[in-house]
Structure 1
């Protein structure tokens, strides 16, 4: 049996070399380290678009008194919107849910009971989401594919749970603040000054001054050349990580496919 003797001096030199390598890596690749440390699961806040296209959305959780007025205003301007409804709201106002669907608006999920998803397990979240989906589908015949988390709250486990059942969580990048009951003129100014191509605007269907502000907002956006579409027509559909990615701001971006005949394209084909 051979016995190897390592001198103390050699151990010291080796330790010093390893430490130097570690420092060099940290200095040379701080962005890689930082990206890993801040990696998060994010909903879609907005979408990268070259054209002037955006979406407007309404959360329906409480009152019902303005729903038909909103439908009439949207019809006047030939605009289709996305309404995120709570399951309990569906139970209370099924005729409004049907009216929204019959008018061509998207009826999507806003949870079953407006619970704090951050406080629920993954199984509890998916059960709650599916309960609301069942109620919407029973009235409209269409099962929701999008959800807005109650209170806009989420964390990694909430987003992962939602995507595990094939649904996409949606936030917003333009908040009308209509829920604060600010004047209609202020709502209009906030929205029209902040909308950009790919924006998603947040309204509430029972907010006091939204019906007053909505016509001027729609007129302004249309005069700017914006096309307003439901969110399902705004977002990029496909498999996350393959067809699109979401950056650190929540903006959804398309992943460009490699050109035919390129090295990466050939390599991809060879693996199939």
Structure 2
């Protein structure tokens, strides 16, 4: 049994998350990847003026949350609103999107990027094409029913993808977004440790992976934001990180860590 806080039970749909994220040391991805910088370089020069933030001139970093929404997500949204920080939420369908529709709507209404993390967190590389399509399309439809818009981004559970997954993602209009900074917050409720792990790995063009379903994570967020702002980082959504480039369906986007 997993717990977010003493006495709080997690739903069975989250059991697979215990081994997650890190994972990827990013070794789970066999497909070619594109960095945020490459996405920007490949954009048309005429699009640059329309980019909301110029990440070629400022030090950008993207804050992302997987596997929600959950009980703590409204508090997280309060923090992000107070700090004026946009984030990208990769949402689980089963027992999350369908359980907290009002929170999904709030995420979208407050200007955050709503993205897809599958329906039930099955490892997509273990599935056939029809099963991958079902995992992604059910969440696409559930989110669109609430927000009026289907996501354009998805994150494969455990970062595991391959050409077959990419083909289905392309068919559904979904780019794949991995990460470069993880606190392994599934393994600890120590908010200070979560904060320090993120800060130790932070780098320009980085994508931070956290989970708003674990008890120690949301309390760590204010300290992460304050310190990274102090270090000169500008927080952006994943689409803003790529701008003026655009996330292309099927393509895998993953930042490179600083040497």
**TM-score, length basis structure 1:** 0.69
Given the alignment of the two structures, is residue 134 of structure 1 paired with residue 141 of structure 2, yes or no? Answer: yes
Could you tell me which of 237, 252, 257 is aligned with 2:246? 237
Match of 2:205 in 1: 198
Larger radius of gyration: 1
The 1:159/1:184 distance shift into structure 2, 3 A limit, reads same
Given the alignment of the two structures, is residue 71 of structure 1 paired with residue 77 of structure 2, yes or no? Answer: yes
RMSD: 2.5
Residue ranges of structure 2 left out of the alignment (5+ in a row)? 1-28, 38-54
Could you tell me which of 121, 127, 146 is aligned with 1:120? 127
**Separation in 2 of the partners of 1:149 and 1:196?**
23
Match of 1:186 in 2: 193
**Separation in 2 of the partners of 1:172 and 1:162?**
18
Deviations 1:18-46 (A, max 9, x none): xxxxxxxxxxxxxxxxxxxxx952455x5
Aligned ranges for residues 1-272 of structure 1 at < 5 Å? 40-42=30-32, 47-48=36-37, 50=56, 51-61=58-68, 64-88=70-94, 89-235=96-242, 236-237=245-246, 250-251=254-255
Residue ranges of structure 1 left out of the alignment (5+ in a row)? 1-38, 253-272
SS of the aligned residue for 1:179 comes to coil
Deviations 1:187-219 (A, max 9, x none): 111111211111000010111111221111000
**Separation in 2 of the partners of 1:178 and 1:170?**
19
Contact preservation (8 Å) 1:55, 1:230: yes
The 1:202/1:251 distance shift into structure 2, 3 A limit, reads closer
The 1:43/1:132 distance shift into structure 2, 3 A limit, reads farther
Q: Relative CO higher for 1 or 2, CA cutoff 8 Å, sep ≥ 6?
A: 2
Contact preservation (8 Å) 2:154, 2:175: yes
**TM-score, length basis structure 2:** 0.72
Contact preservation (8 Å) 1:42, 1:159: no
Moved more, 223-232 or 148-157: 148-157
For residue 184 of structure 1, report the CA deviation from its aligned partner. Answer: 1.4
4+ runs deviating over 3 angstroms: none
